[in-house]
């Protein structure tokens, strides 16, 4: 491919530095057999060029005024120094969340893992046959000898408070002044209206079993020919010794 003088001048105008030394070229139609060695261009700072006029000269340039043509062609281009964009200015173009919103977001607590409720431990029942009450100690309930006993000598009842049973001052007491009886319900003893009352018509005694007092209870002593109310494992207070056998 053979380049004309004008094409070669256009090429060298953008390659050679502007040092004021014109370069001669051979006449048209003659190309040297050896390649032309171009001078090394020193490193120049990066510029963004803004072309003001798209027009390009079409006049022929002789071999002696190449430098003048290249100088006039470069007059149409203004060098603009290349600068990196300021990161602060670039960031300001975007929307920025206010500090109040960010503080509310960080104040939110992460949802905690829900802990599964622990299943209640199954308590063993009293070892006495037919008793469904939970055991306290020694494998038995309070009624059958389990748990702590009353500290009064000769008393085998279960202790409520201060190491004593209800009969000997343990447990809650009646709130009426001067009354030392045990509280049955609502902070009052039987005599002062505490606890449940027998459901039998006209009876004001305290209820023991199935909403009835011992007189109107359906539980009768299991001993032959005894019609007393059963109090201890199917026997009355007189025949309760047979229940322990």
Question: What is the residue extent of each domain of the chain?
Answer: 5-30+39-81, 198-245
Weakest-pLDDT range from 109-118, 136-145, 196-205 = 109-118
Kindly state the average pLDDT of the residues 94-112. 65
Reference 5, options 36, 31, 44; nearest CA is 31
Global pTM value: 0.32
Residue 120 has pLDDT above 60, yes or no: yes
Pairing state of beta strands 47-51 and 77-81?
A: antiparallel
Residues 6+ apart with CB under 8 A from 222: 230, 234, 235, 239
Copy the structure tokens of residue 245: 């056998």
For residue 235, the model assigns a pLDDT of 81
Banded model confidence at residue 19, pLDDT cuts 50, 70, 90: low
Quick check: 170 and 151 in contact, CB under 8 A?
no
- Position 82 scores a pLDDT of 59
Residue 58: pLDDT band with limits 50, 70, 90: very low
Rounded CA separation 222/202 (Å) = 28
The per-residue pLDDT for range 37-55, each reduced to its tens digit, is 445 545 544 444 444 444 4
Q: What sign for the dihedral angle of Cα 141, 143, 144, 145?
A: positive
Q: What is the pLDDT of residue 55?
A: 43
Higher pLDDT residue, 150 or 122? 150
- Report the range of poorest mean pLDDT among 11-15, 88-92, 99-103: 88-92
Q: What is the pLDDT of residue 170?
A: 86
For 158-167, write each residue's pLDDT tens digit.
888 888 888 8
Q: Where are the alpha helices (DSSP H) in the chain?
A: 5-13, 66-74, 87-92, 99-107
Count CB-CB contacts under 10 A for residue 126. Answer: 20
Structure tokens at 85: 């964009």
Q: Looking at the predicted structure, is the pLDDT value of residue 210 above 60?
A: yes
Closest CA to 144 of 164, 123, 128: 128
Write out the two tokens for 143.
């009624």
Average pLDDT value over all residues in the chain: 68
Q: Highest mean pLDDT: which of 9-13, 52-56, 143-147?
A: 143-147
């Amino acid at each position: 491919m053979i380049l004309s003088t004008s094409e070669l001048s256009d090429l060298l105008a953008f390659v050679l530095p502007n040092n004021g030394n014109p370069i001669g070229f051979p006449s048209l139609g003659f190309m040297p057999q050896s390649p032309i060695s171009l001078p090394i261009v020193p490193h120049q700072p990066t510029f963004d060029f803004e072309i003001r006029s798209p027009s390009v000269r079409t006049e022929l340039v002789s071999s002696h005024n190449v430098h003048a043509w290249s100088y006039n062609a470069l007059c149409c281009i203004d060098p603009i120094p290349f600068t990196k964009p300021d990161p602060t200015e670039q960031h300001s173009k975007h929307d920025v969340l206010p500090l109040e919103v960010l503080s509310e977001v960080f104040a939110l607590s992460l949802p905690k893992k829900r802990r599964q409720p622990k299943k209640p431990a199954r308590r063993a029942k009293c070892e006495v046959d037919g008793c469904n009450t939970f055991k306290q100690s020694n494998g038995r309930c309070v009624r059958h000898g389990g748990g702590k006993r009353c500290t009064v000598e000769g008393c085998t009842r279960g202790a409520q408070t201060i190491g004593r049973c209800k009969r000997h001052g343990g447990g809650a007491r009646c709130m009426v002044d001067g009354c030392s009886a045990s509280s049955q319900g609502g902070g009052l003893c039987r005599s002062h209206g505490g606890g449940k009352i027998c459901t039998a018509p006209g009876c004001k005694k305290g209820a023991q079993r199935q909403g009835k007092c011992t007189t109107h209870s359906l539980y009768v002593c299991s001993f032959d020919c005894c019609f007393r109310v059963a109090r201890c494992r199917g026997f009355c207070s007189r025949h309760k010794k047979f229940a322990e056998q």
